[in-house]
Chain A
Amino acid sequence: MHAASEAILIVEQLQVSYRSKEQARPILHGLNLTLHQGETVCLLGESGSGKSTLAKAITGLLPPSAQVGSGSLALAGGIAVDLADDNGSGSIPWQRIRGTELALLFQDARQALNPVMTIGQHFKETLLDHRKAKPDEVESISCRLLRKLGFTDPLVLLSSYPFQLSGGMCQRICLAIALCLEPKVLIADEPTSALDTVSQREVLSLIRAMQLDLGLTVLLITHDLAVARAVSDRVIVLDQGRLVEQGSVQRVFSQPKALFTRQLLAYRSQVSAPAKLRSTRKSSACLLEVRRLHKSYDANQPIVRDASLTLDEQEIVGVLGQSGCGKSTLARCIAGLETPNAGSILLRGTDISGLQGKARREICRRIQMVFQDARASLHPGRTAQQLVQEPLQYLRIGNKQERIALASHYLQEVGIEGEAQYRKPPQLSTGQCQRIAIARALVLKPEVLICDEAVSALDVRIQAQILKLLKRLHKQYRFSILMISHDVSVLRSFCHHIAVMSDGRFQEGKQASVRLHESSQPHTQLLLRCAGDLEEVRI
């Protein structure tokens, strides 16, 4: 579609490796990349495939441990640099390239903004440093841009600080700041991965709209197939530092050539396949009941209000909601990490809310939780074996031999075998860490397992594997699962019932996941629409 337009950015033979203790670990193996005027190119790959390294290499933001073996960068307007010069010598005039030629959008927008500066000061700094405006023009330029990006009250925004704004708003503001210098190319590194589906859609449609409006060239880096499909013209698939496939978005998604692309697509359809779970369970007794739960840290801003939910024996219930809707707080209340202000949590009819000391620890045997960031939940200095033994030690279950035997058994169940049981988290992959976390939760033989976004941070491939594992364990050990997620497709493929949470409450009770789309609730409809192929972004 843009075949005839001129090349605006050419990267040739880019080789980057990271030096660690002993050896250099190659990340990119001689990558070539060409962007044409006005197109959106999506760089698709799993974590560790080198896609962020590429973005950092062409903007001169590589960490000191990175070594550029070779590579050249040519931009429209005759700028050409040898990236191999970037190894600490500082001979490349990045100040002239970054911002005005190439603009960057980061994953975590709130961290990209300076917390002690107002949004207005960000604009001022950017515009004045690059001499793009006189001091008295700054306000009008930034207001114009913010209005263009859909903010109705830009003046109020200019005097607010990043922490006062939501993640989605921060990302839109970062986009506005990036655009105020009128860059030729916008490089967006996972710009929506940290956002929930609704904000994700907002940001993506804005990027798309700005691209059409200003004739911007966009390099979008993502691991999310749906995002790639929704906004890009051309897709480049990266696997372990090598370009395995590129082509128009229609071609890559309908007739993938490379084996790796075919696998990626297969995993995605596996994850989002509609549930084939039999929900005709005999005599399902109510196991856990949350009754009119209320939790707030600040009286004016309740996080969970009046939330009620039931979980039957052996049932898998999904809690769906945007970030900030209170679903994680609900999970933490059930797990005993928070004390609710009002309401009750009944486990087989006994109230367990707000227990302390010994009573709370007894409940730990029956309710367990797996966290989003598995790596952070595991102590980096302990081996897998030790980590799984931890709850047994805490609750004084068994003697030493029995603990080792139990831990080995459950580690085998989750697929951590042999020598890997004696490795520590830093030597294990993220997927393996999540497996250990699951084994550690199940070793207590709980009745309820809470999964708080347990697969959200994982690559599609690992996500499919973990979900499959959870399904198998659920069948075998017959516990109930409360699955908290913002991802409709994951929940639909995994849960018997789904309850939609917004603003701290459930608008209606849980409903069969196959019938979720029949819901009349506007919020449920919004979530479903946003999660649906994201196709509508492509206007």
Chain B
Amino acid sequence: MHSTRRSVSLIAGTVLLGLLAVLIAGAHWISPYDPVQQHAAERLEKPSAQHPFGTDRFGRDLLARTLHGGQITLLSAMAALSGALAIGLAVGLAAGMFHNSLLDRLFMRMIDVLLAFPFMVLAMVVAALFGTSLFHLLLAVIAVGWVTFARLARSVVLQARNETSFAAARVLGASNRTLILRELAPKALSPVLILATFELGSLILSIAALSFLGLGAQPPTPEWGSMLADGREYVLQSPHIMFGPALFIMLSVLAFNLIGEGLRDRLDPYEKPQL
């Protein structure tokens, strides 16, 4: 019984995300300006028909920068998420399947340490060690991000291991690989995916935050977080500089959260109405 009311957030989120994707993918056609080309004559212009979001202190068109920046921010967030998801699922499934083994304990202590570590500090350490670049930023995000997925996957697996269907599959001769892939992974996948959509929102925020601090994308590459950082100095005289990236960060986080909520309603076994 999935009433229409329940999937409203899923539809709204998907539509919003689709819209953003079209805008960002079609950046070239929507805004004819080059995102890094500087125009000294058009510095800090207010929004107008020519520059809908105005221009920044180098006279670059902010709409073009916001849309192109979206490509970088969203793609890197997706990449970081896929990396974290893959590692987290693998570790969680293995740790849960071989519960209480040396492997499990090792992973769990590692997770404890990582969880206790402030994320921003770790990212700064990585940046200090390997230099500041978007790639290193992603590595830092993945290094911390897999932890929550692993924890969740493991807890689902531990529960599923006690179910009759798991015992039945074992008695029927399923190998450990079959057990993990056919019995455990599908059960772990839906809660982990739901968490992932929520995490993607916060990943966009943390990539933007780290770029804001100067640890991610380097100028002149447009990126939402670093654009916000640029606009900070002119916030009193030209507040419109921050408008574009802020709006897009907000909209994309909102889209992913809506999708996450919709997915949870659909997939969460505990929310399913009784017959």
Contacts and interface: CB of A to CB of B under 8 A. Distances in A.
Interface stretch (A78-86, A107-115, A330-338): A330-338
Interface stretch (B7-15, B166-174, B234-242): B166-174
Interface in A65-113: 65
Contacts, number: 67
A364 B1 contact: no
A357 B177 CA distance: 11
A376 B165 contact: yes
A395 B173 contact: yes
B170 A63 contact: no
B189 to A, nearest CB: 13
B165 A394 contact: no
Nearest to B179: A394
Contact of A378 (B165, B174, B275): B165
A369 B164 CA distance: 11
Contacts of A391: 172-173
B48 interface: no
Contacts of A260: none
A21 B174 CA distance: 35
B50 interface: no
A65 B175 CA distance: 41
B4 interface: no
A455 to B, nearest CB: 16
A533 B168 CA distance: 35
Contact of B175 (A63, A361, A437, A440): A361
Interface string A330-368: 001001110000000000000000000110010011011
A365 B275 contact: no
A21 B167 contact: no
A488 interface: no
Interface string A217-244: 0000000000000000000000000000
Contacts of B275: 18, 20, 65
B81 to A, nearest CB: 27
B274 A65 contact: yes
Interface residues of A, number: 34
Which of B178, B274, B275 has the most chain A CB atoms inside 10 A of its CB? B275
A377 B164 contact: yes
A377 B165 contact: yes
A426 to B, nearest CB: 10
Contacts of B1: 19-21, 65
Interface in A15-39: 18-21
A368 B273 CA distance: 35
Contacts of A378: 165, 168
B163 interface: yes
Contacts of B165: 376-379
Interface in B208-235: none
A365 B172 CA distance: 8
Contacts of A522: none
A437 B183 CA distance: 17
A444 B275 CA distance: 35
Contacts of A364: 171-173
Contacts of A395: 173
A156 B163 CA distance: 34
Interface in B34-74: none
A123 to B, nearest CB: 30
Which of A377, A378, A441 has the most chain B CB atoms inside 10 A of its CB? A377
Contacts of A332: 167
A165 B167 CA distance: 27
A335 B165 CA distance: 14
A18 B1 CA distance: 12
Which of A18, A20, A361 has the most chain B CB atoms inside 10 A of its CB? A361
A65 B273 contact: yes
Contacts of B169: 390, 394
Nearest to A363: B173
Contact of B174 (A365, A368, A394): A394
Nearest to A356: B176
B172 A390 contact: yes
14 contacts: A65-B274, A332-B167, A361-B175, A364-B173, A369-B171, A376-B163, A377-B165, A377-B167, A379-B165, A391-B172, A391-B173, A394-B172, A395-B173, A444-B172
- Among all A-B residue pairs, the 8 with the closest Cβ atoms: A364-B173, A391-B172, A377-B168, A376-B164, A394-B173, A377-B164, A361-B173, A395-B173
Given A20-B1, A63-B273, A379-B165, 6 more contacts: A65-B273, A335-B171, A337-B170, A361-B174, A373-B164, A437-B168
